[in-house]
Structure 1
Amino acid sequence: MTRPQLLIGLMTGTSLDGVDAVLVDLAGAQPRLIAAQGSPLPEALRRDLLTLQAPAPNEIDLAWQAGNALADCYVDAVAALLAKAGVAASDVTAIGNHGQTIRHRPERGYTIQLGNNARLAERSGISVIGDFRSRDVAAGGQGAPLVPAFHEAIFADARRHRVIVNIGGIANLTDLPRSGDITGFDTGPGNVLMDLWIHRHRGAAYDAGGAWAASGKILDDLLAELLREPYLALPAPKSTGRDLFHANWLAARLTGRTDRIEDVMATLTTYTARTIADAVKATAPGVDDIFICGGGAHNPTLLAALARDLPGVSIASTAALGVDPDWVEAIAFAWLAERFIQRAAGNVPAVTGAAGSRTLGALWPA
C-alpha cells in the first residue's frame, strides 16, 4: 500500500492551554514537519472543560456543547494551518485528532476524549481519525500513554540508551534501550499542579520560565508528603490524569499549612522533577540521554531540578534530535492516523497492558 503523504495532527492536552496543530509529510522514513499552528482555547470553553473533569450538573449536555465548540476550534486551527502552509484541504489525507480528555478511567473500562469528529470532518472537508484510546482500553489496556510507539519509531538509537520524557499537564516517559523491549508510563503530574497554583494566586496560565518557582525555597516536609502519593509506587502499566491530580488533591495536602505561596510553587516544581527522576532511576538505570518534550521543556527551573536528581545524565530537549518539543505529541497523532490507515498497530502492549497489538482509532470520512 502506498503511504499517505500529508496528514494533520491535532492535540489538546491535560494543561488545557490550547490546540496544537501540525501538517506533516509522512512520505519518507521520518516525519517532516511542514507547518505548525498553536491556538489558545476560549476562556469560556476552557472553564467548561475543567468543569467536566469531575461530575457536574447536566454534564451530558455540557459535554456535547463543549465538544461542538472544541470541534469548531479544531476547524479554525486546521484552516489557519493550511493557510500558513499554502496547502489545500483536498491535498490532506486525514486529520489525526486526539481530542480533549475529560475522564480517564481505564480501571472502569473507559476513557473519554471530546471533540465531535463528525463535525470536524464535515466542516473541514478532511477525513478524521480519532478515538485512539478506546480500542486499547477494550483490549484490557490503559489506553495511555500512546506516544511510546512513535517515540520508538523516530527517536530510538541502537548506540545510545535514551529516555523520552513528555512534560505536559501529566508527565510520561518512554524508555528506549539500545536493544530489547521499550517501556513507558505516566510518571505523575507534569505541569498540572504548578499551573493550578499560579493561576489561583497570580492569574497566570503557567510559570513562564519557572521564574516564580525559582523565587521560592523547597519545603522538604511538604515534598515528602506529596511523594507519599500511592500512584507513584504502583507498577507499570499505569496512567493518570486530572482524575487524580486535581485541586482537591493538592488542598488536602496543604490543610493546616501557612507556607509562603512561592515556596509551595518551588516545591511543586521539585515534586514534578523528583517523580520523573525516580521513575527514570527505577525503569532505566544506566540511561545515557534524556530528551524532553512538551511545555516543561521551556521551564529551566524544572529542568535544573531534574538535572540535580539525575547527575551524570545528559538532558536536552527533543530539538537536539531535530523535533521541536512543542509539536512532538501533535506529530505523534498524525503518525497514529497513518498507522490506522495502514491498519498497523499503534499501541505497545508492554506499555499499556493491552492483551496485544491493536490498530487504534476510528474513521469519520470527509
Structure 2
Amino acid sequence: MSNNTHQYKVIGLMSGTSLDGLDIAFCNFQYDYAKWSFTILDTKTIAYSQQLKNKLQQALHLDATELLLLHNEYGHWLGTEAKQFIAQHNLAVDFIASHGHTIFHQPDKGLTYQIGSGQHLANASNKKVICDFRTKDVALGGQGAPLVPIGDRLLFSKYDFCLNLGGFSNISFEEKTGKRIAFDISPVNMLLNYLSNKIDLEYDKGGNIAQSGTLNLRLLDHLNKLEHYNLNPPKSLGQEWFTQHCIPLIESTKDTVANLLHTSTVHIAHQIGQVIKSYTTKHKAKVFITGGGAKNNFLITTIKKELENLADVITPNEKMIDFKEALVFAFLGVLRDRNEVNCLQSVTGATKDSSSGVIYYP
C-alpha cells in the first residue's frame, strides 16, 4: 500500500455503565487519501456473570487494595475473552483497543478511573493493547468524555447529529464554526433499568411497560429541573451523579413502576428534544441513533414525537446499534497508534487536543 492508503485490523472492547456485558467488535479500517472507511467484520457480546456484575457494581465502594486487585483480575478476564474470540474466528489482529470499565468519573476533581489493566490484558491475549483513553484529557483539564465524537466526525459525517442512548444519552455534532461539540444529555438505561429492577426485570423490553403507564407531572417537573440541564457544555455524567440526584427523586415518588418508567421516558425524550431544537440550523436535520436505548421502541417513538417536523430520526441495523461504541474505541486506538488527535478540546474542555491512550505490549 502507498503512503496514502493504510489498513488496520483491530478489536474494540467496550463495557458500558449499564453493565449489560462486554462488547467485542473486530473491525477493518481503511485510510484512503485522507478519508476513513470501516467495516465491522465479527462481533460478540459476552454477558457478565452475576458474580462479575456484582463486583463491578460494588467496585465504587472497595478499598484501594481490593480495587487494584479487581483492576488486574478484570484486565486478565478481558484478555482471555479476546484471545478466545480471536481463536474462534481465526483472526489476524493488529492490536486490541479497550475502553475498560469506568468506576470513578469526577473530572471536576481531575479524577477518572477505568479498570481493566492493560498489561494483564496484553499478557492474557498475547496482543498489543491500547487502553486508558480518558486520563490524559482529564489531566489536561478536560471532562475525559465523551470520546466517541472524533469517530462521529471521521466515520459518520453524513449525519447532522449522532445520538447515543446508553447508560446516559450523549450527542455529537459540528457547530457552525466547524468545531465538534458533544456532551452528555441525560440518564437513559441507567434510570430505566434502575426502575425495571424494582419489579425484578433487568430492563423494560421495547419500553412496553413504560408505554402502559401514565405521566406523573410532579416527577417530570422535578427531573426536568435538575441542575445539569442548565449547564453549558462541556459537561458529562457518571454513576455518582445519578446516585446523588436521580435516585432520591425516584425513591421519594410514590407511584407504580409503569408510571415511573413512562414519566422517565418522556423526560429523556424531552431533554434530547430540547438539545436538538436549540442547536439545529436546518429543516429536517438527520439524527443518527445508536446504543441499547435505540431498541426501546417507546423511547424512539417519544423522541420522534418530540422532534416532529424538525428532524429525521435514523436508527441503523442491530449490529451498528450494539457495536458502534466498540467500533469507535477500536478507531480511537488506530488514531493513537498513528499518534493523531483522538480527543477533542472542543468536546471535553481540555486545554488542547490530544492523542490519548496508553500502549502495552505482552
TM-score normalised over the length of structure 2: 0.92
CA distance in 2, matches of 1:306, 1:154: 24
CA distance in 1, matches of 2:272, 2:19: 21
2:71 aligned with 1:61: no
2:193 aligned with 1:195: yes
Contact kept? 1:5, 1:25, Cα under 8 Å: yes
Give the SS at the match of 2:241: coil
Residue deviations 1:180-199 (CA, integer Å, cap 9, x gap): 22211111212101111111
Q: In the comparison of the two structures, how many residue pairs are matched?
A: 353
Give the SS at the match of 2:313: strand
Contact kept? 2:8, 2:334, Cα under 8 Å: no
Aligned partner of 1:295 among 292, 297, 314: 292
1:307-346 equivalent positions in 2, closer than 5 A: 307-312=304-309, 313-319=311-317, 324-346=320-342
Contact kept? 1:22, 1:81, Cα under 8 Å: no
Deviation, structure 1 residue 354: 1.1
Give the SS at the match of 2:239: coil
RMSD: 1.9
Contact kept? 1:142, 1:239, Cα under 8 Å: yes
CA distance in 2, matches of 1:253, 1:179: 38
Deviation, structure 1 residue 330: 0.3
Deviation, structure 1 residue 269: 1.6
Give the SS at the match of 2:97: strand
Deviation, structure 1 residue 296: 0.6
Distance 1:122 1:301, change over 3 A: same
Shifted more, 77-86 versus 19-28: the winner is 77-86
CA distance in 2, matches of 1:5, 1:251: 43
Give the SS at the match of 2:103: strand
Structure 1 counterpart of 2:124, one-letter code:
R
Contact kept? 1:217, 1:262, Cα under 8 Å: yes
1:19-58 equivalent positions in 2, closer than 5 A: 19-28=22-31, 29-53=36-60, 56=61, 58=62
Contact kept? 1:11, 1:21, Cα under 8 Å: yes
Distance 1:156 1:264, change over 3 A: same
Deviation, structure 1 residue 32: 1.3
Distance 1:202 1:79, change over 3 A: farther
CA distance in 2, matches of 1:185, 1:259: 31
1:1-366 equivalent positions in 2, closer than 5 A: 3-28=6-31, 29-53=36-60, 56=61, 58-87=62-91, 91-157=92-158, 162-176=160-174, 180-199=178-197, 201-246=198-243, 249-254=245-250, 256-286=252-282, 288-312=285-309, 313-319=311-317, 324-366=320-362
Deviation, structure 1 residue 38: 0.4
Contact kept? 2:170, 2:186, Cα under 8 Å: yes
Higher strand share: 2
Structure 2 counterpart of 1:275, one-letter code:
Q
Deviation, structure 1 residue 223: 0.6
Contact kept? 1:340, 1:361, Cα under 8 Å: yes
Give the SS at the match of 2:184: strand
Deviation, structure 1 residue 81: 2.6
CA distance in 2, matches of 1:285, 1:170: 25
Contact kept? 1:19, 1:77, Cα under 8 Å: no
